[in-house]
Amino acid sequence: MEVKDLKNKWEFGVTDNVIGIDKSFHDKIFQFFSRLHSSAEYKGSGLGLSICKKIVEKHSGEIDVVSFPQEGSTFRFTLAK
């Protein structure tokens, strides 16, 4: 995890080195009940990132992902100071 002070907001970044996400799915992963794999492959309800997005937006922030298949992902979000 990393934190940056960007003048009038904070930027937080969380990086993993798991499976990564193809760019064509970057918008989809923030939608409610969105799953890229079956629950047999990866557990979860498809709510996690959509809830994160709602929380961040309620605090006037933004969230996004930079990811490459088979390399991992970095999720970044901002919060106003």
The ranges assigned to domains in the chain are: 2-80
- Give the predicted TM-score (pTM) of the model: 0.78
Which alpha helices (H) appear in the chain, and where do they start and end? 48-58
CATH 2.60.40.10 at 2-80, yes or no: no
Grade residue 20 by pLDDT with cuts at 50, 70 and 90: confident
pLDDT tens digit sequence for 54-79: 999 999 999 999 998 889 999 999 99
Using alpha carbons, select from 67, 68, 60, 63 the residue that is nearest to residue 49: 63
Res 24 pLDDT > 70: yes
> What is the 8-class DSSP label of residue 70?
T
Average the pLDDT over 27-49 and give the result: 75
For 74, other C-beta atoms within 10 Å of its C-beta total: 14
Grade residue 47 by pLDDT with cuts at 50, 70 and 90: confident
